[in-house]
Structure 1
């Protein structure tokens, strides 16, 4: 059957009336307001109302993007999480550990880290839901990288097969967290070199 060229064409489909369009400038204003609110009152006292007021938007604008303040904060953490980064593959245990330290140091220098992580860890000690969420956002990507580094070192004969990747991560992240988040001391490249040697020595002596 042929189509009559004179027949009217079907009307173009349009988005349903009232369809949500999330403006990026509003989203960024809310994220900035979260950091300001955290700095002012901390996670426990932070509220969606306070965030919305600082951002100059209604509460609905916040809830359309995040269902709770915890999800909002975890979204910020996700902006600098290492989950999507490739496992270092320099060909040596020292090189891989040094690359991991560089990544972790960069993460901890992020302004969101210094504003959010210490407060969240305090809340995580009181609330299992927050503890699980923080563990997923912060630990899983870093542990995946540590597992890859240890696996490569075992294959090259640099570490015994029973080496614990969690211990490797503890040796690496503990000093960095203390220096950059607790003491807030600057980390120089030479410091990362020395720490990488210490981590490697610690793993080999286990």
Structure 2
């Protein structure tokens, strides 16, 4: 029986090279055309190294996106909920509009439709934590009296972000900043 490799033995330099290569290739070729072989070649590592740390290219790209998402889409808390939502959601639009991260994310979501393990990992590592941060910000708004105590925070998150992902996944183009502000205002008006 083979034991799993010790993650502490990973070379951080190799890890970063692999993650950067995976995202760059996804931006250049599109997610579907990226292979583990191409990632290994670009990163200057062996395929064996990649497969020792990740089971699939989807797992590599998921880790790369997860590493970037928190820094790229911070959730401010200035005390002004509509402004904070607009600021954070504008960062999400930029993340999704990037030829590198947007292509990788759309491909990852598509692949997760027929890979239950990847779907579970996507929710656990990327989507779930980002939803939790949004709900925490909304909960603080409730405590500050900006949202009613009975506001359905999960529904608010879905109403805000659902249209953004709908437009991204169907290649309809991102919202303009004005349209984004209108979306935020309309959703929050429901609970005012």
Q: Confirm or deny a common fold (TM above 0.5).
A: yes
Matches within 5 A, 1:32-47: 32-33=21-22, 35-36=24-25, 40=29, 42-43=31-32, 47=35
Q: Alignment partner of 1:88: what SS?
A: coil
Any idea what SS the aligned residue of 2:100 has?
helix
Residue equivalent to 1:166: 154
Partners of 1:125 and 1:59 in 2: how far apart? 25
Deviates more, 1:112-121 or 1:25-34: 25-34
Q: Tell me if structure 2 keeps the 8 A contact 1:179–1:185.
A: yes
Cα distance change, pair 112–138 in 1 and its aligned pair in 2 (3 A): farther
What's the TM-score, normalizing by structure 2? 0.73
1:130 offset after TM fit, Å? Answer: 0.8
Structure 2: runs of 5 or more not aligned = 1-8
Counterpart in 1 of 2:111?
Answer: 123
What secondary structure, in the 3-state scheme, does the structure 2 residue paired with 1:82 have? helix
Q: Is the CA contact 2:113–2:119 (under 8 Å) kept in the aligned structure 1?
A: yes
What is the correspondence of 1:71-110 to structure 2 with a 5 Å cutoff? 71-82=59-70, 87-110=75-98
8 Å contact kept, 2:23–2:104: no
Counterpart secondary structure, 1:123: helix
State the aligned residue count: 184
TM-score in terms of structure 1 length:
0.69
Q: Give the structure 1 partner of residue 165 of structure 2.
A: 177
Distance 1:172 1:82, change over 3 A: farther
Cα contact 1:88–1:100 (8 A) shared by 2:
yes
Q: Secondary structure at the match of 1:94?
A: helix
Measure, in 1, the Cα distance between the counterparts of 2:146 and 2:19: 48
Q: Distance in 2 between matches of 1:95 and 1:38?
A: 31
Question: What runs of 5+ residues in structure 1 fail to find an aligned partner?
Answer: 1-19
Q: By how many angstroms is 1:99 displaced?
A: 2.7
1:69 to partner: Cα distance: 2.5
Match for residue 101 of structure 2 among 91, 108, 113? 113
Give me the CA root mean square deviation.
3.4
What is the match of residue 8 of structure 1?
Answer: none
**Cα deviation, residue 152, structure 1:** 2.0
- Aligned to 1:162, what secondary structure does the other structure show? coil
Q: Which deviates more, 115-124 or 184-193?
A: 184-193
1:149 alignment partner in structure 2: 137
Alpha-carbon contact 2:82-2:185 (below 8 Å) kept: yes
Question: Larger % of helix: which?
Answer: 2
Note the C-alpha offset of 1:110.
Answer: 3.2
Rounded to whole Å, the distance in 2 between the matches of 1:196 and 1:181 is 20
Provide the secondary structure at the position in 1 that maps to 2:114.
Answer: coil
